[in-house]
Chain A
């Protein structure tokens, strides 16, 4: 047996590409849902009403302080006992979205707080509705301010999709470790696995830099 057998990879390329697509699919959905949920959670964290703020703060603390693996097990294996039946991909995407929402929420909150209070006072005096202030003044600026943090969190969530292999989601890690144990080509499969995640993370980072450049063109203070 050769030290590094590229043939194993080439033979299984279609499977590996399927796994890659599944990983991207799960990452994109989990991050998109996570951001939407995170925005709602961030609004709750900033609420003046304790009845909203305290439970939502508790939610964020619980999510951030427990391993994603345990949360996923609870959702996937524990879900049926309270009537939640999800297939592995659904459980994976929803679980990861919930996990990500706590981190996105803290990021959004920091972004909102970085907007000078005076800009909101002007809008208040001019009679803007709370919804208009949020969508027209706060969110566009907040999103620009937090792009670097957003890229960071998205990369971390992208890599967390590896955990989904444990509930049999046919993503990269599941596919490549499977091939590895069938062919004993561990070095080859794990190297390709690492490279694939590297490509994903690097693409996310490039996309982020591009967005940051475009968005912050006029925002330097």
Chain B
């Protein structure tokens, strides 16, 4: 995985803040995600990592600073010192290069696997049905599910559902994919198949931001690991730096907890 940091970042987060009323949940966040970079956000629950991801997608409105997607400010229009909410049309324009995968899959239950993948191709990209189906089948094939094209979500396992959700997110050919704890709702035995699909995507050069509790995945696949605690970035670096280098006490404690939880044999 070779990265040229000379490339313009796809996602730029600058001095970003987020408050829910009085409660500040993200404090002065700065991040750059470059093409083909895989960034993993780790941290204890309530540290703000999911909120950060949702602010990048503008599913939550950040309350200060800027989030740029391929150079465009997402969610707001800035004129002089005035900031206004962007129109839906503008928001959609900035989001067009973004895909997102959720913890709860969020497949549309009344559509087949193929229907889920092709819906945006037909409704948003306005492809004809035949062309959309060909493309949809190719995407399902990519996640190893072309045989399940005509199954409804309720007829698929959790792992299969999440792979369909990944294929659906890929349909709009995004330049960055956001994952919000994609394996946290899965039975442990099904986690592997989803992580494998994500590894394949990373190897193909997909730019990804992944909120995860899978430290093994972060260590093996990430180019950058970001540790958040109480709404602040405490450490940012290569997996080697974060997992093996000197650590702030909070990270030490977090990783120790993780090890204790996963150790079942002395």
Chain A residues packing against B (C-beta within 8 Å): 116, 118-119, 121-122, 124-130, 132, 136-137, 140-141, 144, 218-221
Contact = CB atoms under 8 A, between A and B. Distances in A.
Q: Which 4 A-B pairs have the closest CB atoms?
A: A218-B152, A118-B106, A127-B92, A126-B120
Interface string B72-107: 000000000000000010001001101110101011
Contacts of A141: 108-110
Nearest to A218: B152
Given A116-B104, A218-B155, A125 B124 contact: no
Contact of B108 (A121, A137, A221): A137
Contacts of B198: none
A98 B92 CA distance: 37
Contact of A125 (B98, B104, B119, B153): B98
A132 B102 CA distance: 21
Contacts of B96: 127
A140 B110 contact: yes
B109 A125 contact: no
Given A127-B95, A218-B110, 10 more contacts: A116-B104, A121-B102, A122-B106, A122-B165, A122-B168, A125-B59, A125-B98, A132-B124, A141-B108, A220-B154
Nearest to B180: A118
Interface of B: 57, 59, 88, 92, 95-96, 98-100, 102, 104, 106-110, 119-120, 123-124, 152-155, 165, 168, 171-172
B109 A221 contact: yes
Contacts of B165: 122
B110 A144 contact: yes
Contacts of A130: 88
Given A128-B124, A130-B88, A219 B99 contact: no
A128 B110 contact: no
A118 B172 contact: no
A136 B95 contact: no
A132 B92 CA distance: 14
A125 B165 CA distance: 13
18 contacts: A118-B104, A119-B107, A119-B108, A121-B100, A122-B100, A122-B168, A124-B59, A126-B120, A126-B168, A126-B171, A126-B172, A128-B120, A132-B123, A141-B110, A144-B110, A218-B155, A219-B110, A219-B154
B97 to A, nearest CB: 10
Nearest to B110: A140
A122 B124 CA distance: 13
A63 B69 CA distance: 49
Contact of B172 (A127, A137, A220): A127
Given A125-B95, A127-B124, A221 B110 contact: no
A125 B57 contact: yes
B103 to A, nearest CB: 8
A218 B116 CA distance: 14
Contacts of B108: 119, 137, 141
A119 B99 CA distance: 14
B99 A125 contact: yes
A131 to B, nearest CB: 10
Contacts of B57: 125
